Amino acid sequence: MPKAFDAANPPFDRLTPHEVETLRAALDVVYFPPGESIIDQGASSGALFVIIKGTIEERDGTDLLALLGPKDSFDSRALVHGKSGHAFLAREEALCYSAPRHTVLDLIQSNPRFASFFYGDIARKLDEFVRDEDEQRHGSMMRARISELFLHPAAFIDADDTVGTAGRKMQEINSNALFVRDGDRTGIITGMNLSKAVILKCRSTQTSVRDLAHFDLVTLRPDDFVSSALVLMTKLNKRRIAIRDDERFVGILEDIDVLGFLAGSAQVIAGRIERAANRDDLAAAARQTTAQVRTLRRQGIDVELIGEIVSDLNQRLLSRLFDLTAPAEIRAGGCLMVMGSEGRGEQTARTDQDNGLILSGAIEQAELDKFRTAFSGALSDFGFPPCPGHVMVSNPAWSKPLPDYIADIRSWLALPDDTAHMNVAILFDARCVAGDTTLLTEVKAKLIEMARGEQAFLAHFARAIDLFPTPIGLFKHLITSAGKGDAIDLKKGGLFPIVHGVRSLALEHGLVETATDKRIDRLCDKGVLHAEFARELHQAFNFMLMLRLDGLLAESAGATGTLVRPSSLSSMERDLLRDAFYVVKKFREFIRHHFNLGAF
C-alpha cells in the first residue's frame, strides 16, 4: 500500500527502493481503541507497528516508561527476540501501520544496515549510529558558510602609502594582508609582497605600495559556502579571498584558516594560549575554543574526545591565566583546581566557572584578595559566567589553605546535610590545572580515607540519584511546540543519575579518576559493575552527552542547552534515547540495591 507510508523515517530510510515496495505491499493499518493492549509484557509480536496517529504507552509492570507518538515504531525486541521486555497499550485512539513479522525478518536478513536498528543491545545500535553519522560529516563541513570561519580584519591603506607604513600597520593589527585603495579600484598587499620587494628587489621602504599590490581580487560573500572558497583557491591558485558584503569589505579569508576549519585546529589554539602575553590574547583564544567545539562535532569526532580536547584547552587557558595573574607566592604554594563537569572532563561547551584554590599556607590578605578578584574577573571577561553556587576562586570558601579544607571535610562527614553532600561531590571531582598538584592529591586522599567504610554517609550521598525522576512522556509529539512543554531535561533525567551514581561508587572504592567514563572502566575492572552493563552505561552516557552537546550548539545563544526536544530528534535518535533511559533506570535500581536505599 500505502504510498503514504513514510519511507524516509528511520530506520526505513535504510531500505532500498525495492525493499520499500516489498514492505509497503505487506502493510496493514490497525486501529486500537483506548486502553487496548497491543503487546503484553513478555509476549512475542507478529508485527512491527509504526504509529500513524495517537499515543501508545510503554509500560514495565505498573511503571510508565515512555509515550510513543507518530512515526515511532515498536517493538523490536518482541519482534526479533520473540519476547517483549515491556507492555504496549493504546493510551488514546491509535492508528498504526502493521508490518508482518516475516516481512521484517526478511528485510533484516537482506539488509545489515536496517538490521542494526533491531539489535537488542544498545551498544551495538549506537556503534552503527555513529558510523552513519561519520559518513555525513564531510558533507556538513562543506555546507558551512564563510561567515562561520575566522576572517582577518578588513584594514585599508592608501596606494600612496609606503612599504614601511604597510609593514607597521600589519604588525599593529596582527594580520598579514591589507586592502589597498587606489581611486576606484581595490587591491590587496601581503607581508610576503613587502618582504620580496625589500629583500629581493632591494626597493626602499619609502616605495609606495601601488606597484606592489595585486588588483585582481577574488571576492566571495560571507554567506557563500566554504567549499566555494576552497574551489576558487585551488583553481586560481590564490591564498587569500576578499570577503565582501555588497559594497563593503568585511575581511580576508586565508587558505590556512579554511584548512584549519576543515581539519580542526585545536593544536593552533593550544599554541596561541601558550604564547599569550596578556589577557587580551587569552580572551581571543577562549573565543576560538568555543568555535572549535562546533568544528570537532561536525567532523564527527566522538563526544568523549571532544570533552578531552576542550578540557585540555580550558586547562591550558586557566593555567596561563594563573601564571599571568597570580603572584609568585601563590604560584609556588597554591594549587588551582577545576571542579564539576570541567573537573570530570565532560565540559564540551563553555559554561560556568567552577574552580578553586588550595594554598599550602597563609598568604598576605590584600595580595590574595587582589588575585581572587583579578582571576575570576578575567574569566568572566572571557565569557565564563560566574558559578551560581559561587564555587570559584573569588569565594574565600573555595580559596583557602589546605588544613581548612581538611577541617571542612571532617565536618561534612560528621554532620552530613545536603550542602555537605554537594560539597563532597564538588571536591571529589576536582582536578588540578595549575600550581602544586600534591596539594589536591593530599586533600583527596584525606577525603577518600575519611569516607572509607562510612556506609551510612555513602548511602545518604548516593540518594541524590533519585532527586529527579527519569523523564517519561518524552516521546509524545505536541502539535504546538511553542512552549517548553515538549522538551526534556537530559541533564536531570539522564546524565545526572549516571554521573552521581558512578561518583558514589567511585568514592566508596576510593578511585582517583575524575571522568565518569574512566570511573566506569575502573569500577568494571574492580568487578563492581558487570562488564556488559558497564559497556551499556558508558554508551548510554556518551549518547546523551552527544545529544546535549548538539542541543548546546543549536541553542548556543540561549542558556537552556540541556533541554532536548523529542520532536527535533529523528525517530532513530528517539529510539536510542528510549534505550538510554532504560539503562539509566536499570542503573538507578542497581544503586538503590547496592547502597540499600530501600531502607530510607
Partner 1 sequence: MFKRGPVDEVVAIDCETTGLNVRTDDIISIGAVKIRGNRILTSERFERVVRPDARMRTDAIKIHHLRQVDVEHQAPIRKLLHDLLHFVGGRPLVGYYVDFDIAMLDKHILPFIGIELPNPRIDISSLYYELKYGDAPPNISVDLSFSAILADLEIPSLPQHDAFNDALMTAMMYVTLRDKKKRGIRIPRSNSQAASDPFGGQAFLA
Binding footprint of partner 1 on the chain (CB under 8 A): 1-4, 25-33, 52-53, 55, 91-93, 95, 98, 100, 469, 471, 473-474, 476, 478-479, 483-489, 492
Q: How far is the CB of 50 from partner 1 (least distance, A)?
A: 12
Helix (H, G, I), strand (E, B) or coil at 326: coil
87 or 197, CB closer to partner 1?
87
The sheet with strand 56-60 has its strands ordered as: 37-39, 87-90, 56-60, 63-68
Q: How far is the CB of 460 from partner 1 (least distance, A)?
A: 24
Mutual angle of helices 437-451 and 418-428, in 10-degree steps: 130
Q: How far is the CB of 480 from partner 1 (least distance, A)?
A: 8
Nearest residue to 516 via CA among 399, 411, 431: 431
200 or 479, CB closer to partner 1?
479
Asked whether 409 and 442 are in contact (CB, 8 A), the reply is: no
Query: Which cell numbers in the block locate residue 472?
Result: 517519561
Amino acid at 415: L
CA angle 140, 145, 149 (to 5 degrees): 105
296 or 487, CB closer to partner 1?
487
The secondary element (H helix, E strand) that includes residue 399 is strand 399-401
What residues does 157 pair with on adjacent strands?
180
Q: How far is the CB of 1 from partner 1 (least distance, A)?
A: 4
366 or 479, CB closer to partner 1?
479
Q: How far is the CB of 580 from partner 1 (least distance, A)?
A: 17
300 or 473, CB closer to partner 1?
473
Percent helix, strand and coil across the chain, each to the nearest 5: 55, 15, 30
CA angle 105, 106, 110 (to 5 degrees): 115
Q: Look up cell 542541543; give the residue.
A: 551
Q: How far is the CB of 166 from partner 1 (least distance, A)?
A: 59
Asked whether 407 and 446 are in contact (CB, 8 A), the reply is: no
Q: How far is the CB of 497 from partner 1 (least distance, A)?
A: 15
Alpha-carbon gap, residue 538 to 106, rounded angstroms: 32
Contacts of 562 (CB under 8 A, 6+ apart): 489, 490, 491, 492, 495, 548, 551, 552
27 or 122, CB closer to partner 1?
27
Q: How far is the CB of 577 from partner 1 (least distance, A)?
A: 13
Alpha-carbon gap, residue 331 to 325, rounded angstroms: 9
98 or 165, CB closer to partner 1?
98
28 or 323, CB closer to partner 1?
28
Alpha-carbon gap, residue 599 to 202, rounded angstroms: 88
2 or 139, CB closer to partner 1?
2
Asked whether 584 and 468 are in contact (CB, 8 A), the reply is: no
Q: How far is the CB of 485 from partner 1 (least distance, A)?
A: 3
